[in-house]
Amino acid sequence: MSELVLASASAVRASVLKNAGIPFHIEPASIDEEAIKTNLMGQGRQPREIADALAEAKALDVSRANPDALVLGADQILVFENGCISKSSSLADARTVLLRLRGNLHRLISALVLAQNGEPVWRHLETATLWMREFSDAFLDTYLADEGQSLLGGVGCYRLEGRGSQLFTRIEGDYFAILGLSLLPLLSALRERGVVPK
Q: How far apart are CA 50 and CA 25, in angstroms?
A: 26
Give the torsion sign (CA, 41, 46, 49, 50): positive
Write the DSSP assignment of 115-154 as a string of letters: EETTEEEEEEEEEEEEEE----HHHHHHHHHHHGGGGGGS
**Is there a catalytic annotation at residue 174?**
no
Is residue 129 within 8 Å of 185, Cβ to Cβ? no
Catalytic choice (32, 61, 68, 75): 75
Query: Which DSSP letter does residue 88 get?
Result: P
Burial class (CB in 10 A: 0-12, 13-18, 19+), 88: buried
The count of other CB atoms within 10 Å of the CB of residue 197 is 8
Name the E strands within 7-118: 25-26, 70-80, 83-85, 105-116
Q: How far apart are CA 55 and CA 186, in angstroms?
A: 14
Active site residues: 75
